[in-house]
Structure 1
Amino acid sequence: MRVAFLVAPEGAEQIELTDPWDAVKEAGGTPILLSTSAGPIQAFDHLDRGDTFPVDQLVAQAEPSDFDGLVLPGGVANPDFLRTDPKAVAFVKGFFDAGLPVAAICHAPWTLIEADVVRGRTLTSYPSLRTDIRNAGGNWVDEQVKVCDGGTNKLITSRKPDDLKAFDKAFLAEFGAGG
């Protein structure tokens, strides 16, 4: 199981990157860190700088078909940067076009909104995205984890770091790793 983790050069919420990353590894999978530029990415613990992590591949050089699923970590700045990068947005949309599962936590649905893939789907997120999701044609719910089987692929969403264990279990099951 190869899983793409897409993050901006800075701003990803560290625990929303590392916890799912470790879950993929523990399930016997291979996590691959993608970003919009080379070099290490700077993660954050809320507003404080966290650790840096080496980028495995540029998103511009990646194809959704090379992966079994996509994880979009949150953090406020991370999806805000990603949604302004056309290659990142196209990569995310490519998973939906290919019918591959996508998992997004916290503020990550901002990138989904930009990719125009939330219309007609029910999802959850950090509560401050509720209006954005509704304005994009999605149905927002306040649940720990929401698995939406809209269209040809599964979309797994979660609200915040407190929901990570349930998020990990849900996306691993949909990515084919059990849970």
Structure 2
Amino acid sequence: MRIAFLTAPEGVEQVELTEPWQAAVDAGHEPVLVSTQPGKIQAFDHLDKADTFPVQEVVGETSADSFGGLVLPGGVANPDFLRTDEKAVAFVRDFFEQGRPVAAICHAPWTLIEADVVRDRVLTSWPSLRTDLRNAGATWVDEQVKICDHGPNKLVTSRKPDDLKAFCETYLEVFGSEKG
């Protein structure tokens, strides 16, 4: 399965990109780095610059049709930038409209809020997003990983880097049960 990993040009939490990416590779999937601009993205280790990674496809030049699922890594700046980009928000919304599985960790649900896809769903996130998610109509829970299958697709969410092992295992199980 081709899996889109959507990030902004700058601000993704590196470990929230690299660990789910490697888990996808290890499971025989094809991860694809999608961003809002061509070139490279700048990852971060909290507030410090980390590695750069080459963009493989650009939002607006690709579509959800090309992928079996979507992973949204966190980092504070990453989803904050993505939620202000109309093409990125539309790209995310398309996965929900097409019933394709989506996984989001840490601050990534901010992008889901902007795509208006969290209403009546149960999910988790970095704790500071709790009020934002509730205000958008979601039920927030403080769990290591949460699967919500309300609506046409399954949504896997997780809180933070410490939850990455459970997040990776769960999203791969969910994605593996889907066609793609």
TM-score bin (small chain) = over 0.9
Equivalent position of 2:159 in the other structure: 159
Q: TM-score, normalised by structure 2?
A: 0.98
| Structure 2 equivalent of residue 57 of structure 1 | 57
Q: What's the secondary structure of 1:71's corresponding residue?
A: strand
**Matched AA of 1:88:** A
| Superposed displacement of residue 65, structure 1 | 1.4
**Runs ≥4 in structure 1, deviation > 3 angstroms?**
none
1:141 is aligned to: 141
Q: Is the 8 A contact 1:27 1:177 kept in 2?
A: no
In the alignment of these two chains, the number of paired residues is 178
TM-score (norm 1): 0.98
Query: 1:17-166 alignment to 2 at 5 Å?
Result: 17-166=17-166
Measured in 2, the distance between the counterparts of 1:59 and 1:75 equals 19
Q: Which residue of 2 aligns with 1:176?
A: 176
- Give 5+ residue unaligned stretches, structure 2: none
The percentage of counterpart residues that share the same residue type is 70
CA displacement, residues 68-120 of structure 1 (integer Å, 9 cap, x when unaligned): 11000000000000000000000000000000000000000000000000000
Counterpart of 1:121 in structure 2: which amino acid? R
Partner residue in 2 for 1:14: 14
Read off the aligned partner of 1:7 and give its amino acid letter.
T
Q: 1:177 to 1:54 in 2, by over 3 A?
A: farther
Cα distance, 1:176 vs structure 2: 1.0
CA distance in 1, matches of 2:20, 2:62: 20
Structure 1: distance between partners of 2:119 and 2:153? 14
1:61 match: secondary structure? coil
Q: Give the counterpart letter for 1:82 in structure 2.
A: L
Structure 1 spans left out of the alignment, 5+ residues:
none
* In 2, Cα distance between equivalents of 1:62 and 1:27: 24
Helix, strand or coil at the partner of 1:104: strand
Q: Give the CA deviation at 1:177.
A: 6.8
Name the aligned partner's letter for residue 46 of structure 1.
H
Instruction: Using the TM superposition, give the Cα deviation of residue 59 of structure 1 relative to its aligned residue in structure 2, in angstroms.
Output: 1.1
Q: Aligned partners of 1:139 and 1:74: how far apart in 2?
A: 19
